Structure 1
Amino acid sequence: MEIKKKIQAVFATGLSVALLMSLAACGGDKTASEKDDGSLMTVDVFDGLANYQGEQKGWFAKIIKDKFNIKLNIIAPNVAGGGSTLFDTRSASGNLGDIIIYGYDGGYGSKMVKAKLLADMTPYLDGMDNIKNHQAAIDAMNDVIGVDSGVYGIPGSVSDKAPTEASEGLEPTFGPYLRWDYYKAIGYPEIDTLEDLIPVLKQMQDKARETEGRNDIYAMSLFKDWDGNMMNNAKQPTCFYGFDEMGFVLAKADGSEYQSITDKDGIYDRTIKFFNAAYRAGIVDPESTTQNYDTMNSKYKEGKVLFSFWPWLGQAAYNTNENKAAGKGFMIAPLKDQKIFSYGSTPTGGKTFIGIGSQAKNKQRLVKFIDWLYSAEGVYDSGAQTGGAAGPKGLNWEIKDGEPVLTDFGSSVLSGASENVPEEYGGGSYSDGISALNFTTVNVNDNDPDTGYPYNATMWPSELEKANNNPLNQDWSSHMGGAKTTMEYLEANNMIEVAPGSAYMTPDEDSQITTLRGSIKTEIVNASWKASFASSEAEAEKIMDQMRETVKGLGIDQVLEVDMKNAKDQDAARKAAVKDYQAENKDSSSDSE
């Protein structure tokens, strides 16, 4: 599951069989022989990951206009709302977009191929070495979508690392992050378990309100935007203990345990009780039930929230250079019983692909653009989301004494500060110019073959040295056994569990299961929120017990049978990916000898 501003893209319900047949009859690819006069071209990008809709702005727009003479017009189901409707409407016209970024699991890739919505890029691949370098990922996608040959898309998040290596950089995807400056202010109390966070956070909240003279500071703030099969916020602490979701199942990264989210006294039930205890302790923002992600995120930036489920929320919003210099910011807590779930690297890529629409003009130019996105320069420029790739060379970074280093401008903007870009690079706000594609081609923690260092600037020696000299990081390190980074701390203390990366895709779901799931998840989500904000522990338990009885009657056992099989199949695929990688690299080693 790829985590960005939205944990998952909202996928459509799918095309009807009749629609697929009609499109297969009338759709089709335009010929490879069409002429391209090189004039400025507006490219419609149907992007299931984008959180922005409209024309790409700023410095990234200038880069691609100068290189390819194209403008990107982002069509984003996440922003437009009604993702399935938008997908179906555009599919019915036979034209999803000139470039398509979407998930190919769950049968969507095969549906798009059968409906002739995707072009086979094979005729355009001469000289496209960056695409060809990821043939294994293309083959894995072809296996899933049911084609024997052709290049209908290239998966994202491809990596050169082993599946057993964490795909994250210095920070995991999940973790209990707290405002270290207020944790310090209350004397660094020990935190044995998740439940022990509550009195610690209460002390931190009291101290923060006293220090800053305001009563609108809360330890925790929640939101509903991302709720799906469960209350999304309640799922996050389960990841602190090695679990991740598969429908209504929570599965351990190593395949050792599987639980239903409705299990009484299971890990999900534990997190609901945790939220309810936090609410009754008065440390949960009362606007949690009505606010959206953006509203909540602004509170982090303003210093009004003291705990974060993810580093890319709390740290990205608050850990500016200025705050860190003052010793303020979010750092991972020393939660003694944590075993944090980590996504392994994926040599065959993730579940989302980028491809060319069958009705697109000037396909060769578009394929060149996609090939560039998978080049080192493209990874830096298109992967410059906060906490990601370093951004444009020359503007954000340069080479000194053989090593990459950030410029003053790059250091500022990558720490979250607001800066205007020099006119020669396109002008305007830096943040407004970041690629709106929100699509990771190559894992930014992989090494740039030209420099030998990761695309992610936080992993450069020059930046690690800065971090180690930072008052916030120095204090954190001195209380975490001398660890210099979060990952170093977690690995040294056996507090991370890597789920090997694989090409496993959830199979297309039977319509009856989908119907049952829809009514069941509504009951689970509603009960989870009600229980989290119940006035007593007994009331919260009663709400969850009633929910369990209700979903039993709605047929959850039928859905759980499907989800449990998928979870176990995923584990088998992960183990197979490890064996395949070991075999391939053993062969490679033998060949090189």
Structure 2
Amino acid sequence: MEFKTALTRVFAVGVAATMLFSSAACGNSSASDEDDNSLMTVEVFDGLANYQGEQKGWFAKIIKDKFNIKLNIVAPNVAGGGSTLFDTRAAAGNLGDIVIYGYDTGKGSKLVKSGLIEDMTPYLQDTEYISKYKEATDYVNEQIGQESGVWGIPSAVVENLTPDEPSEGLEPTFGPYLRWDLYKEVGYPEINTLEDLVSVLKQMQDKAREESGSDDIYAMSLFKDWDSNMMNNAKQPTCFYGYDEVGFVLAKGDGSDFESITEEDGIYERTIKFFNAAYRAGIVDPESTTQNYDTMNSKYKNGKVLFSFWPWLGQAAYNTNENKAAGKGFMLAPLKDMKIFSYGATPRGDKTMIALGSKAKNKQRLVKFIDWLYSPEGVYASSNQTGGSAGVQGLTWEVKDGKPVLTDFGSAVLSGESKNVPDEWGGGSYSDGISALNFTTVNVNDIDPNTGYTYNPVMWPSEIEKANENPLNKDWQEHMGASTTMEYLKNNNMLLVGAGSSYVQPEEDSQISTLRGSIKTEIVNSSWKASFADSESECEKIFSDMIKTVQGLDIDSVLEVDMKNAKDQDQSRKDILKEYQNKKSSSSESSESSE
């Protein structure tokens, strides 16, 4: 969600100065406020959450037992009118007891200046884990204009991974994932380019409909929920070729190319034409223009969609243990010309932070809770909705012979099966009990110091061994000549890692924001129209007309800003790689001299 406009309004009405001094006055004294440890409802203003209301189930039981708190999630994504919700709460001087929010583009500094969050430093006694990420919290301070203090801890921090390593586990964030069982049935046809996918998917759709007798199976299904600067779904295939978005610019992760999304015959137009070819071939779900993500996701679960832009969509929804045992599921099918963009690990964390609300009560207890979220136990327990870590030791995983392994219950629920949690762990369905914060504290591919293995169970030896045994994986491995997707991509030079620099874009001028608002509306609307045009020539005309329209809306002024940000991001990536190479060299020299 975009809250920059809302933050500006907070300043405009003069609330900021008042709250700044009032929060500073009460903040210092509250460190010694007595806490009787009674049950406390904690309001969390959460810009990442996809659920609003009281936390349920097993995660709720864990935090009640440990801290005697229950969470009430305030989620702009769910409530709708996010700016209005932010305005209302900010004007009252209280976003929430805990705030999960982006600190980039000037938003973090405004939260501080408006007195909506508070320095955690007075409450850090008896904490163990926040201090481990000083580099990350110092970086947040640098971005929000604070010389000292702990104003927020960013998401996805790492201790053991370097910026040039993929932040993902065995699967990248993006990639062409197909229903492998149907791909096999049509003879594993080679896919040279993105465009070749259309005919392959058409064959798979025909086969699926023939076998099921159902005409509501489609190769592709789309949704509009995440559209912003562009049609979000159309951005995804650009990532198959090493690009990621910076405003209206698509930038290659290695800095070798920077393109406007309105560039004629550029990578974005290529994906729009791909969608249009798929639509004209009859393989795109006709409900794509009206459905939301949840509706689409249910179709994946029911085997009604055959292509996924992301492993965490198709595989998470459909690759249950039962389906994999039957040889069914989504696996990567490579395009011969692809080089998939991968997010490098971020020692300084990502662009969202968790912060302490200035008006919160019992702040010491809340900071202990935040600290726990960064502990190994907290990392396991607070895994977000798209998967990742192993859950709860004793329930979903355990240690055997010194190594972590999933329990039968854990294996089932982490593969997407619906099961109820035993009453002693909180009851209810496992999925309903997952942390609604949707906030990843430590990258799940980092190492748990207690086990020596990652928090991510798919990378455990026990799970890799099991994966090698199921018919789906075995067939994929035999056909691809690799044990895992990441191994295949690395061996075939099909991965492009954008170094994890934690680059933060500067605050945008209000005039640019105003221009961007009208331009992105035109781009998104035209992209959908072009994708569903009845002919290739009509698709091209809609896209061409869109270019002329946005030029008239002064897109060049916005592109100047976005292009600078894209190039600054690339320089930031180069800088952190150089920094870590120097650290590595210094460490090697130190080791040699000690010998």
Higher mean alpha-carbon deviation, 20-29 vs 536-545, is at: 20-29
What SS does the corresponding residue of 2:118 show, helix, strand or coil?
coil
> Match for 1:488: what amino acid?
E
Letter in 2 for 1:410: G
- Counterpart code for 1:381: A
Q: Which residue of 2 aligns with 1:378?
A: 378
Where does 1:331-346 land on structure 2 (aligned, <5 Å)? 331-346=331-346
Query: Partner of 2:51 in structure 1?
Result: 52
Check 1:292–1:385 CA distance in 2 against 1; reply closer, same or farther (3 A cut): closer
- Is the Cα–Cα contact under 8 Å of residues 386 and 414 in structure 1 kept in the other structure? no
Residue aligning to 2:558: 559
1:200 is paired with a residue of what secondary structure? helix
SS of equivalent to 2:70: strand
**Cα distance in 2 between the residues matched to 1:449 and 1:407:** 21
Partners of 1:78 and 1:15 in 2: how far apart? 20
Residue equivalent to 2:490: 491
Q: Give the equivalent residue in structure 2 for 1:19.
A: 15
Q: How does 1:342-357 map to 2 (within 5 A)?
A: 342-357=342-357
Alpha-carbon distance in 1 for matches of 2:515, 2:15: 24
Aligned equivalents of 2:201, 2:381: Cα separation in 1: 39
Cα distance in structure 2, aligned partners of 1:124 and 1:24: 19
Once the two structures are superposed, residues 425-452 of structure 1 have per-residue CA deviations (whole angstroms, 9 ceiling, x without a partner) of: 0111100100000000000001100100
Regions of 4+ moved over 4 Å:
588-592
Distance in 1 (CA, whole Å) between partners of 2:209 and 2:341 is 33
Q: How many Å apart are 1:119 and its aligned residue?
A: 1.2
- The superposition leaves residues 242-264 of structure 1 with CA deviations (integer Å, 9 ceiling, x where unpaired) of 00000000000001100000001
- What residue in structure 2 maps to residue 463 of structure 1? 463
CA displacement, residues 464-510 of structure 1 (integer Å, 9 cap, x when unaligned) = 000000100011111102x1111111111000000000121111100
Match of 1:34 in 2: 33
Answer whether contact 1:201 1:219 (CA < 8 A) is retained.
Answer: yes
Secondary structure at 2:129 match in 1: helix
> Is the 1:12–1:87 contact (alpha carbons within 8 Å) kept by the matching residues of 2?
no
Deviation at 1:26, TM superposition (A): 4.0
Residue in 1 aligned with 2:235?
235
Provide the residue aligned with 1:6 in structure 2: none
Q: What root-mean-square deviation, in Å, do the aligned CA atoms of Structure 1 and Structure 2 show?
A: 1.1
Q: Give the aligned partner of residue 121 of structure 1.
A: 120
Q: Would the alpha carbon gap of residues 588 and 385 (structure 1) be closer, same or farther in structure 2, given more than 3 Å must change?
A: farther
Q: What residue is the counterpart of 1:575 in the other structure?
A: 574
Matches of 1:385 and 1:249 in 2, distance apart? 29
Structure 1 CA distance, aligned partners of 2:585 and 2:16? 43
For 1:389 and 1:554, the matched residues in 2 are separated by 46
Q: Secondary structure of the residue that 1:298 maps to in structure 2?
A: helix
1:44 partner SS: strand
Asked if residue 130 in structure 1 is aligned to residue 129 in structure 2, the reply is yes
Structure 2 SS opposite 1:134 = helix
Distance 2:451 2:444 in 1: 13
One-letter code of the match for 1:241?
Y
Aligned-partner Cα distance in 1 for 2:173–2:381: 22
Corresponding residue for 2:546?
A: 547
Describe the superposition over 1:376-424 as per-residue Cα deviations: whole angstroms up to 9, x where unpaired. 0000001153431000000001111111000000000000000000011
12 and 511 in structure 1: CA distance in 2 versus 1, 3 angstrom threshold: closer
CA distance in 2, matches of 1:20, 1:339: 47
Give deviations 1:531-575, integer Å, cap 9, x for gaps.
000010000101011100000010000000000000000011111
2:473 is the counterpart of 1:480 = no
Q: Secondary structure at the match of 2:117?
A: coil
Distance 1:368 1:588, change over 3 A: farther
The separation in 2 between residues aligned to 1:398 and 1:414, in whole angstroms, is: 14
Q: What is the CA distance between 1:578 and its match in structure 2?
A: 1.3
Question: Would the aligned equivalents of 2:489 and 2:495 in 1 still touch at CA under 8 Å?
Answer: yes
Tell me, in whole angstroms, the C-alpha distance in 1 between the residues paired with 2:460 and 2:379.
Answer: 16
Cα distance in 1, alignment partners of residues 187 and 585 from structure 2: 51
Name the structure 2 match of 1:364: 364
Q: What SS is found at the alignment partner of 1:127? A: coil
Specify whether residues 384 and 106 from structure 1 end up closer, same or farther in structure 2 by C-alpha distance, changes over 3 A only.
Answer: closer
1:15–1:88: 8 Å Cα contact kept in structure 2? Answer: no
Matching residue of 2:198 = 198
- Contact kept, 8 Å, 2:260 with 2:559, in 1: the verdict is yes
Determine the structure 1 residue equivalent to 2:427.
Answer: 427
Q: Which amino acid aligns with 1:77?
A: P
Written as runs of structure 1 = structure 2, the 5 A alignment for 1:122-161 is: 122-160=121-159, 161=161
What is the aligned partner in structure 2 of residue 536 from structure 1? 535
Offset of residue 589 of structure 1: 4.7
**What is the alpha-carbon distance in structure 2 between the residues aligned to residue 588 and residue 422 of structure 1?**
49
Instruction: List gaps (5 residues or longer) in structure 1.
Output: 1-8
Rounded to whole Å, the distance in 2 between the matches of 1:238 and 1:213 is 34
- The AA in structure 1 aligned to 2:184 is K
Query: 1: distance between equivalents of 2:123 and 2:384?
Result: 27
Pairing 1:174-573 to 2, within 5 Å after superposition: 174-383=174-383, 385-481=385-481, 483-573=482-572
Q: Give the Cα separation in 2 of the matches to 1:138 and 1:562.
A: 27
Q: Secondary structure at the match of 1:251?
A: strand
Is contact 1:11-1:103 (8 Å) kept? Answer: no
Contact preservation (8 Å) 2:384, 2:439: no
Contact 1:176 1:308 in 2 (8 A): yes
Query: Deviation at 1:82?
Result: 1.1
Q: With the length of structure 2 as denominator, give the TM-score of the two structures.
A: 0.97
- SS of corresponding position for 1:73: strand
* Structure 2 unmatched ranges of 5 or more: none
Q: Which amino acid is 2:105 matched to?
A: G
* Helix, strand or coil at the partner of 1:15: helix
Partner Cα separation in structure 2 for residue 477 and residue 501 of structure 1: 30
Aligned to 1:74, the other structure's residue is in SS state strand
- Structure 1 residue 334 displacement after superposition: 2.1
Deviations 1:66-119 (A, max 9, x none): 000000000000001111111121111111100000000011110011111111
Q: Percent identity?
A: 73
The letter of the residue matching 2:15 is: L
Aligned length: 584
CA distance in 2 between partners of 1:488 and 1:157 (Å)? 23
Aligned residue number for residue 5 of structure 1: none
Displacement after TM superposition at 1:591 (Å) = 5.0
How far apart are the structure 2 equivalents of 1:386 and 1:530? 30
For structure 1, which segment, 119-128 or 151-160, has the greater mean C-alpha deviation from structure 2 after superposition?
A: 119-128
Q: CA deviation at 1:140?
A: 0.3
Q: Distance in 1 between matches of 2:47 and 2:518?
A: 24
The CA deviation at 1:25 is 4.2
**Most deviating of 18-27 and 376-385:** 18-27
